[in-house]
Amino acid sequence: MSFFGDEGFDEMVNELFGGRPTTRRKRVITGEQEERVIDFIEQGKEVYFVFEIPGYSFDDVKVEITKNEIFVKAVKEKLAEVQPYLKEKLIRGVEFKKELPSFVKHKEFQKTFKNGVLEVKFKRK
C-alpha cells in the first residue's frame, strides 16, 4: 500500500514500456578532492556507464577497456578559454576505474561525450 495512493503507477509505466523496467544503479565515488557521480544502467541488450565530467571536451577524455575494467581519464589540453580559477583543477584531471560486469562484451563499445557527460555503451553477451 502506498502512502500517496499511486500503486498503479509502476504497472502503467511497465505496460507503456513493454513490461521490462529499466534497472538503474547509482553509485558515488568519493575521492580526496571531490565526488563524481557514475551511473550504471542496464536497458534491454545494452549496458551503459555514464560519467559526469564537467569542464572537459571529447578530445580531453580517454577511455581504455580491459577484460574486466573500464578506465576513464580526462585531462584538459587546451586552456585558452578556461577561467584562471579552473585551470589547476582541469590540468590535474580526473580518473575513474570501474569493474565491468561479466555479462558485457568488453571488446565492443561506443562512447559519446556531450555537455560534460560521458556515456560508454556496451552490448550484453
Q: Is 4 in a helix, a strand, or coil? A: coil
The verdict on pTM exceeding 0.85 is: no
User: Is residue 13 over pLDDT 50?
Assistant: yes
69 vs 34, higher pLDDT: 69
Task: List own/partner pairs for 99-103 with CB under 8 A and 24 or more apart.
Answer: 99/68, 99/69, 100/65, 100/67, 100/68, 100/69, 100/70, 101/47, 102/68, 103/47
24 vs 91, higher pLDDT: 91
Residue 10 has a pLDDT of 66
The confidence band for 31, taking pLDDT boundaries of 50, 70 and 90, is very low
User: Is residue 2 over pLDDT 70?
Assistant: no
Domain map (residue ranges) of the chain: 20-124
Q: Identify the CATH assignment for 20-124 out of 3.40.50.2300, 2.60.40.790, 2.60.40.10, 2.30.30.230.
A: 2.60.40.790
**Arithmetic mean of pLDDT, 45-56:** 92
**Arithmetic mean of pLDDT, 66-83:** 86
Residue 84 has a pLDDT of 81
